[in-house]
């Protein structure tokens, strides 16, 4: 068994791992050990289960023996790997985009008067976005504009369009390239469904052709499904603005009722937070001897509420099990995605109520509340009451809160960034031209128990800011960067001299928190704005992306749309594609010639920083800037 020090860089994680071991609670790390070694065929991506003539597998030694080179139908390793990877990307795109669609449904419920729990909080943004999508938004009643926006967004999911609405945000050159390559996303659901079709036996049996569609599918996510999720969330819950909060397990309080919100969508968690702030529920908590109610965030639901409401972050992906191990959590309220099924068992080891809220994400053994726009607040109150009541069952002898919370700054939407810059990108671009900011790297994504938790997320961020490269963080990298002290203005002292000067002048951190995983669409939008301002393509910009500790299908979709948009993208570990030379070559090299960017795989964060730095250097030189 590996020591807890090897598993995570954090004291809060290590303490809770020790406690879990002492109390006999199984975690993801234990199960990884049981699953190791993994199946080599699956690791290489050369298993196929797409029909019942199989399942089939292609031996990595196939070329030597001459046997097992093709599945029963005749598919070779290239075809099988491309098909599997295509479906992987489609799965990720579906997750983000279905989340986006849920926001359309909430806006629709507002427009139709089916809910009073939700409202249009940012009318100006609604009109601005509607106008951007070609809706007459100026003089008409708000609800009429909103109704048209709902229709417009739904249409992006269908199959009657030539291209999705927000694609106009991408530079013209890029759109022309997509058109030429057959990568223009026509509709979110269409591209996902077409990927399922193409990968049925006997359809797309040309690996590069399958990968081009994988890119189209991912672009539908990044430039439509996710983008709709972000923009509508801002309209309904408010555009994030900079504010301060805190992070790590120390945000759980010994004397409060602690509720953690986990998953991705702000729709339910915003209601939980609103309920937890109501005087009668706070009074109920006090009646049980608590001093109040703490709502803390996990993963992206946490990010959504951190960005807009400033709630504290308990942790990222690999902290979700460990948060319950504190023994100080009354309820974990989840929506969907990245919620380990093991949380049901771990909650069962304590007094913690594990509560699901989405019909499409139910967990056997969980307490379920079926939440819809029309009943959200009413149900949220019941959930908070349930957490309050659970406080009486907390066993103080089993409570251990290992650390003090760390301060973080959040709320850097594109609107907030532009605002901080006085309304125009010019000062930022001037800093880039002068070389005080040499470039930008978005560090995004998850934790993976195969990698010491947050060692690569934090290691890469530190190495980049030292080189005057500004870092943009989303998803589970947020809490990693926050715990490392990188999300406060004082972190400028850890940056290189140029970046330090810019951050100090603006009072911002060198690592900017831009939101949840769907909010990577903010970063794509920003790339589009910068490229248009400079009159170049996104692939000409001194930018990069990285997911050092990724695990999920969604992270692969994000990586794929970043690359297809022209952003060089580093991954800390490879997807399961190495069984195909063709697919691997295309991902690591060939895509560069097609879309002007490719993937790089490098487990060592310092070497990854070198790769991203070299890329930024080359792009700066090509733009005639000093490297
Ligand atoms: Fe085997 Fe081909 Fe069926 Fe896949 S589609 S399981 S490779 S026969
Ligand atoms: Ni996004 Fe990765 Fe976290 Fe889940 S919440 S674990 S996809 S980064
Ligand atoms: Fe996420």
Neighbours of 610 (CB within 10 A): 14
Give the separation between CA 379 and CA 355, rounded to whole angstroms.
Answer: 11
Helix (H, G, I), strand (E, B) or coil at 273: helix
The helix/strand/coil state of 247 is strand
- Residue-wise pLDDT for 331-361, tens only, equals 999 999 999 999 999 999 999 999 999 999 9
Q: Is it the case that residue 247 has pLDDT exceeding 90?
A: yes
- Assess contact for 478 and 306: CB atoms under 8 A: yes
CA-wise closest residue to 227 among 570, 509, 563, 527: 527
Distance from C-alpha of 196 to C-alpha of 145, rounded to nearest angstrom: 35
Atom of ligand 1 lying closest to residue 56 CA? 1
Q: Name the band, by pLDDT with cuts 50, 70 and 90, for residue 65.
A: low
User: What torsion, rounded to 10 degrees, do the Cα atoms 242, 246, 252, 256 define?
Assistant: -60
Q: Residue 53, exposed/middle/buried by CB under 10 A (0-12, 13-18, 19+)?
A: exposed
Task: Report whether residue 299 contacts ligand 2, using a CB cutoff of 6 Å.
Answer: yes
**Residue of the CA atom closest to atom 2 of ligand 1:** 73
Average pLDDT, the chain: 97
Predicted complex ipTM: 0.95
pLDDT, mean of residues 206-235: 98
Q: Say which residue the tokens 């810059």 belong to.
A: 421
DSSP-derived secondary structure letter, 453: B
Residue 471: pLDDT over 80: yes
CB 482 within 8 A of CB 455: no
pLDDT at site 62? 62
CA dist list (Å): 438 to 68, 101, 419, 426, 537: 50, 37, 21, 15, 18
pLDDT at site 59:
87
Note the pLDDT of residue 29: 98
72-102 pLDDT tens trace: 999 999 999 999 999 999 999 999 999 999 9
Q: Give ligand 1 pocket residues (Cβ under 6 A).
A: 48-51, 53-56, 71-73, 75, 80, 201
Q: What is the pLDDT of residue 66?
A: 73
Name the residues around ion ligand 3, CB cutoff 5 A: 300, 475, 517
Mutation choice for ligand 2 from 552, 556, 559, CB with most ligand atoms inside 8 A: 552
Mutate to test the pocket of ligand 2, among 93, 299, 453, 472 (most ligand atoms within 8 A of CB): 299
| Predicted confidence (pLDDT) per residue in 274-297, tens digit | 999 999 999 999 999 999 999 999
The whole-number pLDDT of residue 63 equals: 61
Q: What pTM was estimated for this model as a whole?
A: 0.98
pLDDT at 60 (0 to 100): 75
Cβ contact 224:161 at 8 Å: no
Distance 550 CA to ligand 2 centre (A): 8
The C-alpha atoms of residue 367 and residue 371 are separated, in whole angstroms, by 12
Question: Residues 118-137: pLDDT tens digits?
Answer: 999 999 999 999 999 999 99
Evaluate whether 529 touches 467 at the Cβ level (below 8 Å): no
pLDDT of residue 64: 65
Q: Which of 52, 80, 87, 205 to mutate to test the pocket of ligand 1 (most atoms within 8 A of CB)?
A: 80
The span from the CA of 12 to the CA of 558, in Å, is 29
Give the Å distance between the CA of 224 and the centre of ligand 2.
19
Question: Of 574, 531, 580, which Cα lies nearest the Cα of 550?
Answer: 574
Mean pLDDT for the stretch of residues 361-370: 98
- pLDDT the model gives residue 461: 99
Rounded to 5°, the CA angle 421-412-101 comes to 130
Ligand 1 atom 7: residue of nearest CA:
71
CA distance 222 to 216: 10
Nearest CA owner, ligand 2 atom 6: 446
| Segments in 535-604 forming alpha helices (H) | 553-564, 581-585, 591-595
**In this structure, which residue's CA is closest to atom 2 in ligand 2?**
446
Rounded CA Rg of the chain = 24
Contacts 24+ apart (CB under 8 A), 361-366: 361/263, 361/334, 361/335, 361/336, 361/337, 363/334, 363/339
CA-based nearest residue to 20, from 318, 390, 337, 250: 318
Q: How confident is the model at residue 1 (pLDDT cuts 50, 70, 90)?
A: confident
Task: Please give the average per-residue pLDDT across 421-446, as a whole number.
Answer: 97
Read off the pLDDT of each residue in 424-451 and give the average, rounded to a whole number: 97
Q: Give residue-wise pLDDT tens across range 476-531.
A: 999 999 999 999 999 999 999 999 999 999 999 999 999 999 999 999 999 999 99
Locate the ligand 1 atom nearest the alpha carbon of residue 72 and give its number. 8
What pLDDT is attached to residue 390? Answer: 98
């Amino acid at each position: 068994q590996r020591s807890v020090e090897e598993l995570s860089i954090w004291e809060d994680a290590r303490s809770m791992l020790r406690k879990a071991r002492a109390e006999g609670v199984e975690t993801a790390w234990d199960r990884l050990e049981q699953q190791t070694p993994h199946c080599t065929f699956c690791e290489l991506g050369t298993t196929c289960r797409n029909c019942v003539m199989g399942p089939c597998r292609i031996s990595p030694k196939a070329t030597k023996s001459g046997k097992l080179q093709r599945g029963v139908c005749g598919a070779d390793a290239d075809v099988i790997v491309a098909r599997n990877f295509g479906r992987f990307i489609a799965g990720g795109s579906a997750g983000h985009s279905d989340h986006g669609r849920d926001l359309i449904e909430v806006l629709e419920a507002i427009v139709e008067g089916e809910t009073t729990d939700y409202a249009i909080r940012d009318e100006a943004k609604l009109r601005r976005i509607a106008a951007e999508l070609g809706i007459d938004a100026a003089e008409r009643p708000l609800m009429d504009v909103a109704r048209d926006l709902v229709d417009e967004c739904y249409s992006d999911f269908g199959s009657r369009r030539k291209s999705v609405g927000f694609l106009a945000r991408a530079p013209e050159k890029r759109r022309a390239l997509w058109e030429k390559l057959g990568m223009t996303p026509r509709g979110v659901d269409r591209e996902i469904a077409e990927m399922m079709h193409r990968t049925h036996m006997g359809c797309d049996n040309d690996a590069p052709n399958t990968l081009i569609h994988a890119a189209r599918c991912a672009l539908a996510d990044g430039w439509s499904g996710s983008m709709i999720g972000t923009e509508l969330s801002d309209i309904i819950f408010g555009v994030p603005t900079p504010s301060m909060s805190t992070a790590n397990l120390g945000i759980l309080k010994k004397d409060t009722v602690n509720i953690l919100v986990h998953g991705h969508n702000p729709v339910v968690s915003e209601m939980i937070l609103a309920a937890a702030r109501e005087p009668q529920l706070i009074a109920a908590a006090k009646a049980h001897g608590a001093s109040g109610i703490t709502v803390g965030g996990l993963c992206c639901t946490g990010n959504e509420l951190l960005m807009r409401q400033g709630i504290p972050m308990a942790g990222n992906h690999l902290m979700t099990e460990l948060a319950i191990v504190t023994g100080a959590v009354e309820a974990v309220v989840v929506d969907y995605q990245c919620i380990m099924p093991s949380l049901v068992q771990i909650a069962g080891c304590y007094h913690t109520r594990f509560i699901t809220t989405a019909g499409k994400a139910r967990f056997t053994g969980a307490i379920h509340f079926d939440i819809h726009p029309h009943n959200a607040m009413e149900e949220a109150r019941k959930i908070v009451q349930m957490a309050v009541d659970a406080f009486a069952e907390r066993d103080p002898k089993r409570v251990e809160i290992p650390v003090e919370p760390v301060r973080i700054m959040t709320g850097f939407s594109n609107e907030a960034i532009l605002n901080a810059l006085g309304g125009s990108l010019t000062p930022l671009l001037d800093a880039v031209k002068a070389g005080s900011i040499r470039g930008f790297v978005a560090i995004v994504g998850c934790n993976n128990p195969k990698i010491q938790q947050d060692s690569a997320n934090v290691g890469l961020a530190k190495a980049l800011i030292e080189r005057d490269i500004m870092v943009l963080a989303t998803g589970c990298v947020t809490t990693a960067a926050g715990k490392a002290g990188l999300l406060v203005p004082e972190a400028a002292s850890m940056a290189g001299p140029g970046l330090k000067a810019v951050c100090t002048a603006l009072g911002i951190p060198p690592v900017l928190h831009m939101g949840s995983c769907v909010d990577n669409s903010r970063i794509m939008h920003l790339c589009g704005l910068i490229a248009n301002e400079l009159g170049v393509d996104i692939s000409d910009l001194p930018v990069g992306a990285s997911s050092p500790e990724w695990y999920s299908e969604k992270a692969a979709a994000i990586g794929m749309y970043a690359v297809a948009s022209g952003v060089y993208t580093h991954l800390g570990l490879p997807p399961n594609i190495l069984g195909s030379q063709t697919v691997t070559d295309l991902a690591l090299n060939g895509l560069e010639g097609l879309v002007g960017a490719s993937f790089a795989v490098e487990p060592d964060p310092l070497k990854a920083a070198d790769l991203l730095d070299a890329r930024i250097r080359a792009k700066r030189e090509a733009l005639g800037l000093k490297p």
